[in-house]
Structure 1
Amino acid sequence: MKQENLAFIFPGQGSQKIGMLADLHSAFPVVKSVYDRASEVLGYDLWALSQEGEQEDINLTERTQPLLLTASFAMWQVWNELGGPQPSYMAGHSLGEWSALVCAGVIAFEDAVNIVRLRGKYMQEAVPAGEGAMAAIIGLDDEVVASACEAAREQGEVSLANFNSPGQLVIAGRKEAVQSAVDRCNEAGARKAMLLPVSAPFHTELMKPAADRLSKDLDSVLFVNPSLPIIHNVHAQAEMEPDNIKSIMLEQIYKPVGWVACVKSLTTLGCDVAIECGPGKVLAGLVKRIDKGLAVKNVDSPSLISTAIESVS
């Protein structure tokens, strides 16, 4: 049964942690099955990595991306196994958009696991290690941060990369330019402006080579019409044509993540409840600052998923 007011939202990098989904894995055999399928594609034991690896291992981009996609898809499978109602819309934050594509039936899970592994690899390789950077800027208006980036461009490429919530932005680019923009944001009165522990400048024009490489891999991957609309990061609208979706998922690599606009689109479309289908509560925190009218429920444990289904059914 479809719930008109229900959305599913899928987190991106930053939600991973050692030990995630352990209780769901113990309670639902389908979780083990999903991780086994991913491990077959990757050639290593993804579940063991998520439970017994080091945090620095799961923070490697080409491992983080399949790890989070697999976690989200496993949780979606549990939701359906328990008879949870179907959402009317989906949206994902950066990598999470690929999770949404899989859950909406646009792309086969195994194909997506391989694609996001390559996506992570190409994004990491697009700019040599140590040359790129990302920084979080908290407490300034978008226009002030954009001006700081503009002024810092004499040091190299730097631009807005993530519109996470009002007053919470991420900038990215060449390391020297990002540091210069951070300094300018601090001078402008930012509550916090700091470099993030990420070595590649995601969602900037510097990622265009990664998109070009991934384009060749996507040529042989089947995309079909989504079973329900997905609100995309690039323009906060739905795309229903497979070729358009494929194109926009390449653009998404080097264009900013418009998460604020995505959440506002969901609420405009009538959604007032969202399920964060992934480990942790990163998106719940962002949504609360964007629109308190959209209540977010987390489902990364058996008790939470049961409670969420009960509350929205």
Structure 2
Amino acid sequence: MNKIALLFPGQGSQYIGMGKDFFENYNVSKEVFLEADESLDMDLSGLIFEGDKEELQKTENTQPAILTTSISILKALEKEDIGYEYTIGLSLGEYSALVASDVFKFKDAIKIVRQRGLFMEEAVPSNKGAMAAVLGLKLEKIDILIETCKDKGQISVANYNCPGQIVMTGEKAAIDKAVLVSKELGAKKAVLLDVSGPFHSSMLEDAGENLQKELLKYKVNTPKKKVVSNVDAKIVKDKDEIVDKLKKQVSNSVLFQQSIELLIEEGVDTFIEVGPGKSLTSFVKRTAKSIKKDIQIFNIENIDSFRKTIDKLKEGHK
């Protein structure tokens, strides 16, 4: 019997048209999009399917759009009776993981992430912050990188994605310098990311405070699945931890690589990325390879990949 974890993507995986084939082919998926439109009192579905790319890129739109797409696919997957024991998301994706674990009702989560996006946008003036992906830099050199660049402003690690890939975050001048310095320290590549702010940095602590007040308005349920938290790479033991962890998540590093290592230690041998894009699939592959573990990994973002995944999983159960 496979031990399955579902993975949910974060900001950056969005694109116009995502989830449309699920909307058109599965009533349970269509209901999710319609519920999102109703809950937010806006035509989110229209924006996702055929809207303006720049409008979709706005954080307050991106976050509910990705959540809605991921949960619409999840609902189709659940109809196939695929038993999963663990859930995890990258940053924003953690909210999809929490919905999948019944911690939040979808109609509440969609409102929470809309506000989360607004709080994050408002926390730092435009062009003051930045983020950069750094590839191939040894972990022991990250402290040197930070130390060398902090004279230009706040700088820290936003994401530990997988072995050989981290994301830096902070003030623009410090991140610009980090792109140059990381190459001098041996990084294969360093590129600025097309994002609207310095996510997962201390510059967003005010956004975290505002988010905490927002979260307290909603019912938090005991997780029905084992959810791994971004902030400490541990399984959530108690529902009372959740609000505090989500508050911290906005301004703390995302420990995605460490979370995948934990899941593999827990005996998870099958990972399914549910939602737009396939970046988490590559992160999991690289993490498993680095610790010499054999796993199977699938991603579902359209009907074709959905059917292929279901066929493979059912084949494995025979």
TM-score (norm 2): 0.94
What is the CA-CA distance between 1:248 and the residue it aligns to? 0.7
- The residue type equivalent to 1:213 in the other structure is N
User: CA offsets per residue over residues 167-218 of structure 1, 9 Å max, x none?
Assistant: 1110000101111222211222321112111121111111110000111111
What SS does structure 2 have at the residue aligned with 1:238?
Answer: coil
Range 63-72 or range 19-28, more displaced: 19-28
Q: Deviations over 1:128-165 (max 9, x none)?
A: 00100001111111221331112211111001111011
CA distance in 2 between counterparts of 1:302 and 1:193 reads 34
Q: Give the secondary-structure state (helix, strand or coil) at the position aligned to 1:221.
A: coil
Aligned partner of 2:309: which letter? A
**Which of 258, 281, 284 is the aligned partner of 2:281?**
284
| SS of equivalent residue, structure 2 residue 47 | helix
**Residue number in structure 2 paired with 1:91:** 88
Establish whether residue 53 from structure 1 lines up as the match of residue 54 from structure 2. Answer: no
| In 2, Cα distance between equivalents of 1:236 and 1:294 | 19
Residue segments in structure 1 that go unaligned for 5+ positions in a row: none
Using the alignment, how far apart are the partners of 1:174 and 1:215 within structure 2? Answer: 24
Moved more, 99-108 or 147-156: 147-156
CA contact 1:6–1:274 (8 Å) conserved in 2: yes
Kept in 2: contact 1:131–1:199 (CA 8 A): no
Q: Contact 1:133 / 1:173 at 8 angstroms: preserved in 2? A: yes
Report what 1:23 is aligned to.
21
Contact 1:8 1:274 in 2 (8 A): yes
| SS of aligned partner of 2:250 | helix
Taking the TM superposition and a 5 Å limit, the aligned residue runs for 1:138-287 are 138-287=135-284
Residue-by-residue CA offset, 1:202-261 (whole Å, 9 max, x unaligned): 111111100001111111111010001101111111113111011111111111011100
Offset of residue 84 of structure 1? 2.8
Contact 1:287 1:294 in 2 (8 A): no
Q: In the alignment, is the contact (CA less than 8 A) between 2:123 and 2:203 conserved in 1?
A: yes
Shift of 1:300: 2.0
Whether the 8 Å CA contact 1:10–1:97 is kept in 2: the answer is yes
> Alpha-carbon deviation of 1:8?
0.5
Matched positions, count? 310
Q: Identify the match of residue 68 of structure 2 among 65, 70, 92.
A: 70
Deviations along 1:258-286, whole A, 9 cap, x unmatched? 11001101111111111111112111111
Q: Distance in 1 between the 2:305 and 2:57 partners? A: 26
Measured in 2, the distance between the counterparts of 1:36 and 1:85 equals 24
Partner of 1:296: 297
1:41 corresponding residue in structure 2 = 39
Unpaired runs of 5+ in structure 2? none
Report the AA paired with residue 152 of structure 2. Q
SS of the residue corresponding to residue 97 of structure 1 reads helix
**8 Å contact kept, 2:157–2:167:** yes
- Distance across 1 between alignment mates of 2:263 and 2:251: 23
Is 1:125 the counterpart of 2:118? The answer is no
| Contact kept in structure 2, 1:24 and 1:300, CA below 8 Å | no
- Aligned-residue sequence identity (percent) comes to 38
SS state of the match for residue 159, structure 1? Answer: strand
Paired with 2:257 and 2:295, the residues of 1 have a C-alpha distance of 12
Letter in 2 for 1:39: D
Deviation at 1:4, TM superposition (A): 5.1
State the AA in 1 paired with 2:11.
Q
- What is the Cα-based RMSD across aligned positions, in Å? 1.3
> One-letter code of the match for 1:255?
N
Specify the alignment match of 2:310 in structure 1. 309
Tell me the amino acid that sits aligned with residue 312 of structure 2. Answer: S
1:50 is paired with a residue whose SS is: helix
What amino acid is the match of 1:33?
Answer: E
Contact 2:130 2:170 in 1 (8 A): yes
Q: Could you tell me how far 1:22 is from its partner in structure 2?
A: 2.1
SS of aligned partner of 1:58: helix
Q: What is the distance in 1 between the residues matched to 2:225 and 2:28?
A: 23
